[in-house]
């Protein structure tokens, strides 16, 4: 029986993408070769890479001042690659400290230059997005995590700053419309809304590069990847192909306008249900709740455990909160049908009635 998938990442993907990817593993485009067998410098794969790159730009409405890269090492590698490329030893970068992933990015940036904390939500366990930021004008950039996958909070506005904006959009890229051209660098691991694990999408405005004196190892220098068009070394061919299929699907379904409408619909259903219950409670301030990852707790650890057992018995996977914060979490990425949220809400209500 197919499971209801609430995983935070790797996560649910559109059925049609899975079918096309499966077919391509057997025979890619009728070539008599698997996608796993073709060379990365063949015309076949270069077509995939070019389509993937132009779909990123089309979906995010970006012009040619931006470059799209498909890299390896996950978003975690970007935590160090960003400051290595943008932050000189005596420079300062501002960082928003709003969750576990942002904190990890801060830790890495400190290895390369000075870090100024523009805002922090640590005082309340990252249960909100701060409204007040301090960003020194000499900051090389301001970094923030647009959606805090673990804590379940999301920036519903773009932080004001007169310095280049850098965002980790790993868990909400392609889920909503934003003025993406206001950013200088965006990165995202693909394994939530943008495909399978193994590739990281990096979108960078060329004019912020080349401004520091540091020697950068070739494989970590964005300029080399730009010049080589993401073919500096063997790229994750299959993961890039799955990302391309996922972006095609997003476009066919109506683009980011439609993805955002669906995300609003799914999360409204979930949060409205949650707010009527006695046993469960949302963890994040209402106005800052994530449309992608809803985090909540049950009244006691025993009830939480019992609820997870019920989820398991009903074929619902991925509901346990991140190991560092505990509690419960439901992730609702682009590919999730509304019915999957409704089924979960039915279980929440039944459980609540039984244990109130």
Ligand X SMILES: Cc1ncc(COP(=O)(O)O)c(C=O)c1O
Q: What residues make contact with ligand X under the rule CB under 6 A?
A: 9, 74-76, 101, 145, 149, 168, 170-171, 189
Both tokens of 217, joined, read 């190892």
Cβ 196 to ligand X, closest distance in Å? 11
At 22, which helix (H) or strand (E)? helix 15-26
Cβ 89 to ligand X, closest distance in Å? 25
Catalytic residue (one of 97, 140, 155, 168): 168
Cβ 239 to ligand X, closest distance in Å? 11
Cα distance between residue 258 and residue 175, in whole Å? 9
- Whether the CB-CB separation of 328 and 296 falls below 8 Å is answered with yes
Q: Give the distance from CA 170 to its chain's centroid.
A: 2
Q: Which is nearer to ligand X, 175 or 273 (CB)?
A: 175
Is 182 among the residues known to form the active site? Answer: no
67 vs 58, 115, 130, 162, 203, CA distance in Å?
12, 26, 31, 22, 6
Is 192 among the residues known to form the active site? Answer: yes
Instruction: Write the CB contacts of 104 (distance below 8 Å, at least 6 apart in sequence).
Output: 76, 79
> How many C-beta atoms lie closer than 10 Å to residue 63's C-beta?
8
Q: Which is nearer to ligand X, 170 or 295 (CB)?
A: 170
350 vs 186, 281, 319, CA distance in Å?
41, 15, 16
Q: Output the DSSP codes for 135-183.
A: --TT-S-EEEESEETTTTEE-SSPPP-SS-EEEE-TTTTTSS---GGGE
- Whether the CB-CB separation of 187 and 169 falls below 8 Å is answered with yes
Catalytic residue (one of 101, 221, 320, 352): 101
Both tokens of 93, joined, read 């970068």
Catalytic residue (one of 155, 172, 192, 221): 192
Cβ 338 to ligand X, closest distance in Å? 23
Cβ 92 to ligand X, closest distance in Å? 22
Cβ 59 to ligand X, closest distance in Å? 19
Residue nearest to ligand X according to CB distances in the complex: 74
Edge-to-edge strand order for the sheet containing 293-298? 280-282, 293-298, 328-331
Residues annotated catalytic, as ranges: 101, 168, 192
């Amino acid at each position: 029986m197919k499971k209801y998938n609430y995983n935070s990442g790797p996560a649910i993907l559109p059925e049609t993408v899975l079918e096309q990817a499966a077919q391509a593993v057997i025979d890619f485009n009728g070539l008599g070769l698997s996608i796993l067998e073709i060379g990365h410098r063949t015309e076949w794969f270069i077509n995939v890479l070019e389509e993937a790159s132009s779909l990123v730009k089309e979906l995010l409405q970006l012009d040619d001042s931006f470059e799209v890269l498909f890299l390896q090492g996950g978003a975690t590698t970007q935590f160090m690659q960003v400051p290595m490329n943008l932050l000189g030893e005596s420079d300062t970068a501002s960082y928003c400290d709003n969750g576990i992933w942002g904190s990890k990015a801060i830790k890495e940036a400190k290895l390369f230059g000075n870090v100024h904390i523009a805002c922090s939500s640590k005082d309340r366990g990252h249960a909100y997005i701060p409204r007040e930021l301090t960003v020194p004008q000499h900051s090389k950039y301001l970094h923030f995590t647009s959606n805090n996958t673990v804590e379940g909070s999301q920036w519903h506005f773009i932080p004001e700053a007169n310095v280049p904006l850098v965002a980790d959009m790993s868990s909400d890229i392609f889920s909503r419309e934003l003025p993406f051209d206001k950013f200088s660098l965006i990165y995202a691991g693909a394994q939530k809304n943008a495909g399978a694990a193994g590739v990281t999408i990096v979108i960078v405005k060329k004019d912020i590069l080349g401004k520091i004196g540091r020697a950068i190892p070739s494989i970590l220098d964005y300029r080399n990847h730009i010049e080589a068009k993401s073919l500096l070394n063997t790229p994750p061919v299959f993961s890039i192909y799955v990302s391309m299929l996922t972006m095609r699907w997003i476009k066919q379904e109506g683009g980011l306008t439609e993805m955002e409408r669906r995300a609003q619909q799914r999360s409204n259903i979930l949060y409205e249900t949650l707010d009527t219950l006695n046993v469960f409670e949302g963890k994040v301030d209402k106005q800052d709740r994530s449309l992608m990852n809803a985090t909540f707790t049950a009244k006691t650890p025993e009830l939480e455990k019992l609820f997870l057992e019920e989820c398991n018995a009903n074929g619902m996977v991925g509901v346990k909160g991140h190991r560092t914060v505990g509690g419960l979490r439901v992730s609702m990425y682009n590919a999730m049908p509304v019915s999957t949220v409704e089924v979960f809400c039915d279980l929440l209500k039944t459980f609540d009635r039984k244990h109130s």
